[in-house]
Structure 1
């Protein structure tokens, strides 16, 4: 899935948020930004995390406060 061909939006806890980036080559992650939080959606695991003061390092290490969010839906549409 190439980013230039798709729009990705999410409804997270009742708010519409547009994806700011994604990576399907190393780790299938979609990134959403709604300050002060960053949301990371793991495409294969179907898990969304809301993080504060978060850096995603080398696909494995998480630094910062993250919690899993259950109230969300992801919408991927071709451009």
Structure 2
């Protein structure tokens, strides 16, 4: 379960691979309202498309670390 002020990593959708802060949770549907880092405004995100970030400075959860290991990177 998420709660207000949780940091999340969005895994799919328009804001895929972005981080955000939960600002509200709809009581009926569970949809998260988030402030996406670097994007103006607030967005509604399905909680199934998010994983929590439990960070202390640069230490992230193993789940996020494993996910990032499989994201392709490109160089120019």
The structure that is strand-richer by fraction is 1
TM beyond 0.5: no
- Normalising by structure 2, we get a TM-score of 0.38
Q: How does the TM-score come out when normalised to structure 1?
A: 0.37
Larger radius of gyration: 2
